[in-house]
Amino acid sequence: MSVQERRAISARRESLLGEQPGAFAVARFVRVTPMKARRVVDLVRGLGVDDALATLKFAPQAAAATVYKVVDSAAANAEGTEHLNRADLVVAKAYVDEGPTLKRHRPRAQGRATRIDKRTSHITVVVAPRVEAEPAEKAPVKKAAAKKSADTADTAKKAPAKKAAKKAADKPAEAAEKPAKKATAKKAATKKATAEKKES
């Protein structure tokens, strides 16, 4: 391996992993369309290496065999160069970039030809050791949230009580207004009836 190739690999590793431990593997110019390869890569992103390999082994997609090789190669790189334990590794990043498209044509009727695009992919897989989350920092946040929810529950209880008291106070006034309206309506009806009798 030349000096330029080593520099390129170290720059690539730094862009993918930074300072954290881990390794990567790339399969370039794979004769699979990027869309089909992404469907397979999405299956294993975030899984442990052993789980990812088991999933890919029985996946029905054609790209699964190639992705299997890339994940296995990344795990082997982590074991060999970084001296990491394979059981602790997780597929931290996995993505597919589009490679060059091979343009071909198919002869058709009356001298025509239709174009066929044979697409290629660059598949990249990054493996890193599993990081355990620390739940101790989240506990104080939950207490503050619980206090806020208790305060909102108290105000929510007070608000319906106020509304109920207001409705109760308004009901007698409404009840007094309704009979008065009915009485005026009856008077108007009787006046009309008497007026019609007088005319006839």
pLDDT band at 30 (very low <50, low <70, confident <90, very high): very high
Quick one: pLDDT at residue 199? 67
Domain-by-domain residue ranges, the chain? 3-131, 138-199
Long-range contacts of 158-164 (CB under 8 A, 24+ apart): none
pLDDT band at 55 (very low <50, low <70, confident <90, very high): very high
For 60-90, the DSSP string reads -STTHHHHHHHHHHHHHHHHHHS---GGGEE
Tell me how far apart the alpha carbons of residues 5 and 156 are, in angstroms, rounded to a whole number. Answer: 67
Tell me the per-residue pLDDT of 129-142, one tens digit each, with 9 for 90 and over.
Answer: 988 766 665 555 56
Is the pLDDT confidence value at 75 over 70? yes
Judged by DSSP in three states, 59 sits in coil
Task: Answer yes or no: pTM beyond 0.75.
Answer: no
Tell me the fold of 3-131: Ribosomal Protein L22; Chain A (3.90.470)
For 97-157, the DSSP string reads EE-PPEEEEEE-GGG-EEEEEE--EEEEEEEEE-----GGGGHHHHHHHHHHHHHHHHHHH
Tell me how far apart the alpha carbons of residues 121 and 34 are, in angstroms, rounded to a whole number. Answer: 5
- Please list the residues that pair with 25 across neighbouring strands: 125
Structure tokens at 20: 């954290």
Quick one: pLDDT at residue 13? 77
